[in-house]
A and B are shown apart, each in its own frame.
Chain A
Amino acid sequence: MKHRLRTTFQNTNFLVGFSILIILLLLTFVAPLFMQGSPLDMVGTLFNKPGNYVNRMGVIDAPKYPMSIEVDSIRLGAAVSNEEAAQMLEWFEKSELDIEWKMLNPAKDHAEIVELFLANYDDSIRLPGTSAYRKGFTRLYLKVQNLLSADGYVVQVEDSSSDSGYREVTKIQSRDFTNVKDVPARRFFLLGTDNFGRDVFHELVSAIGNSLMVGLIAGSIATTIGLLIGLTSGYVGGWVDNLLTFVTNMFTVIPSFVILILLSYSISSSSRSIVVVAFVIGLTAWPWTARSVRSQTLTLKNRDHVNISRLSGFGTVRIIVTDILPYVLSYVVMAYILQISSAILAEAQLSMLGLGPSTTTHATLGLMLSWSMQFQAPLSGAWWAFIPVVLSIALISFSMNLMNTGLDQVFNPTLR
């Protein structure tokens, strides 16, 4: 046994798969320690992109540090791309105003172009072309209109006691800086937010945990049932074998996913918890295990050591447990791993159909994928809402399959 374990862990395939799985498992246990709130809290809004978010009021309240860093050009560079500079030149050309623009270089003279644009842009000039084309210039104007102002911004609060109705809070100059650490309200979204404004990373970690749980429960159930039926039917034989084979065949013939859908549909959504869904998946996934275990048992049951045990008068159960089970165990472990990975996929598929656990109580990989598709994440470029999920699913099944191949190499001498 010890030797077996050692050889197993010396197998690269198994080791890589196992490490991936352990890393994922660790992630699900460790990461939540550093997260605030529940993974289902709707903190952000629709598809906020990944990054560190700081509160804007907090930035104003925080102490300011004037620094001599050239900010204007950075702001300009961030706001005006070469295309946008070219767009402004296009406006000069199309508006047919008397403007000296031809010597300006859209790749270099951003500040001059913006200055000229701000000085001359007139919303009432109707350029030929589509309305969307014209609106592009209006939006551009709104985007750059404050870029070159040297006076900075004035922040006011409503105040009925003052004459203007407003009281000045502070002035923000272009050289003012704030240490992000001084802003009390911050939130870091490693993978942005999903369509409900939930932290995708937090949700993902919790979903991987849930998916692994579904896999383990469903895989255990399926393997246990398969093993029991396979061993009994293979060893006992006779009418018991006929009956069990017949039941197994029946379940093999019906696509198990169809039964899965029907069963999940008949369970009301409120009682569709992770465990219930895992049970349902487990109950539909056992037939192949049963069949293979049965055929292996059939080849084993007439071996000499089994016959000796039988002659010695041992009971059926004992013979199965001590003389047959150890020989099929290596296969069963491999089947178990495959069961786990297919159960995870089945949960994802079910959730995609809206038959999985409910959105408000659990985060699962399938639900995350389903919602991001409904909100057309691929179309609006919100990659963070679905690519990490797809990758996680792929990674889990990949690691399981690697482990399976590794075990196969260890236990199956012909492959060694």
Chain B
Amino acid sequence: MITEKEIWDVLDDVKDPEIPKVSVVDMGIVTGVEVDEEGYVKVKMTPTFAGCPAVDYMKNDIKEKVSRLPVSGLDVEVSFDVQWSTNMITEKGRRLLKESQFALPPKHNGLVQIEMLEKVECPFCGSKNTILQSPFGPTQCRAIHYCKNCLQAFEQFKPV
């Protein structure tokens, strides 16, 4: 009989196609795993942004990888019942994002303040002598900053 733990372990192999080091579990987008007595598996996930183009890709990847386990059936549901926020990125996820040279989103109490996008620490040199260039970056979840110390543009996972 398959256990929830085994499902979570497999899900940790499903990576975010836009940041291949980080898994869907690290990102906090898997919001629930259930296995019933017959071995039927339900996985619930929530998109980082409503229009995230990687959602279907990750959903299919989850289906493919979980189906290889001895399960009697599988349902992967994308839902907004739980709304993703950057607070849901795990500690491991934050470490991996930093290693991938992203500035991290500050933890917040549910209310994102514009000030959170100012003086963000540069992931290259650690300086806070930085400016926000645009709240919109190469993907929906990233903002673009510029470091005046090392003269380097960098991306931040913007707090939501």
Co-assembled chains A and B: no
Residues of A within 8 A of B (CB): none
Residues of B within 8 A of A (CB): none
